[in-house]
């Protein structure tokens, strides 16, 4: 088992989402983050190009960006954000 830590930005993201989204969606998101402790690279996870330890996973219409530190048994959550059309604009 790895421990889960939230960056200050991810903590702020979750606090904002807690009051803005349905309770059921928030609990699903929280549960998915908790499951990363047991399996930090679940099926469907994507490695972020150009970053050595960063991954992203989708939970419904939300994206969780995190880093895995295998030597320290740590998963660091960096960002939790809603996926939208603006996500893909360049």
**Tens digits of residue pLDDT in 26-66:** 999 999 999 999 999 999 899 999 888 999 999 988 999 99
Domain that holds residue 8: 3-88
Number of domains in the chain: 1
The CATH number assigned to the domain holding 29 equals 3.30.2310.20
In this prediction, residue 47 carries a pLDDT of 93
Is a pLDDT exceeding 90 seen at residue 5? yes
For the chain, the DSSP string reads --EEEE-HHHHHHHHHHHHHS-HHHHHHHHHHHHHTTT-SS-TT-EEPTT-SSEEEEEETTEEEEEEEETTTTEEEEEEEEE--GGGG--
């Amino acid at each position: 088992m790895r421990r889960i830590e939230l960056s200050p930005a991810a903590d702020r993201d979750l606090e904002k989402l807690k009051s803005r989204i349905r309770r059921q969606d928030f609990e699903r998101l929280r549960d998915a983050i908790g499951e990363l402790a047991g399996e930090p690279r679940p099926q469907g996870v994507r490695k972020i190009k150009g970053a050595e330890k960063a991954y992203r996973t989708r939970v419904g219409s939300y994206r969780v960006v995190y880093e895995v530190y295998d030597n320290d048994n740590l998963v660091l959550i960096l960002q939790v954000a809603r996926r939208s059309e603006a996500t893909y604009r360049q």
